[in-house]
Copies of this chain bind each other. A is one copy, B any other.
């Protein structure tokens, strides 16, 4: 395993699978896990403390409302932690965004857009590519294709 994709609730799975999808596309191993900073705090601790030994290099954590999962993980590791604030509450993810991004001095969470699990996967790949020139090259190729697709969206526009 290289990337741990954690989520606060099973109901977050559909969104968080988008992170898994892009990792799979790049053949990066990952595991999906439902863990709750509040309802299963001890399990979060055990999971994070043993993660490195299982090969985990970074974490992607998705949570809604008072989204503490990414912060709780970041407080127990010095590996990079990517936070995905999830909408779905009455406040449409504004609560989760602030709970994820406004971390105190010394313990950052790399926060992406509300429900931005796909981008969390891309960001994980960019981090891993720092130690993997082949992955770096594939990301550049991926970007080129994405740009092409945007431009092809013009076909038949006028």
Q: Which residues of A contact B (CB under 8 A)?
A: 8-10, 13, 31-43, 45, 57-58, 64-66, 68, 71-72, 74-76, 78-80, 82, 87, 89-95, 97-116, 118-120, 122-123, 126-131, 136, 139-140, 142-143, 146-147, 150-151, 153-154, 157-158
Task: A142 to B106: give the CA distance in the assembly, Å.
Answer: 9
Pick 16 A–B contacts, CB within 8 A, sort by A: A37-B71, A39-B75, A39-B107, A43-B151, A65-B104, A66-B100, A68-B71, A79-B130, A89-B114, A90-B93, A90-B114, A99-B102, A108-B112, A108-B123, A108-B126, A110-B110
Task: A157 to B10: give the CA distance in the assembly, Å.
Answer: 9
Closest chain-B Cβ to A136's Cβ sits at a distance in Å of 7
CB neighbours of A78 from chain B (8 A): 126, 129, 136, 139-140, 142-143
> Which residue of chain B is the closest to A92 with respect to CB atoms?
B90
Copies of this chain in the oligomer: 8
Contact A98 B91 (CB under 8 A): yes
Which of the residues B75, B127, B157 comes within 8 Å of A130, measured between beta carbons? B127
CB neighbours of A99 from chain B (8 A): 66, 68, 95, 98-99, 102
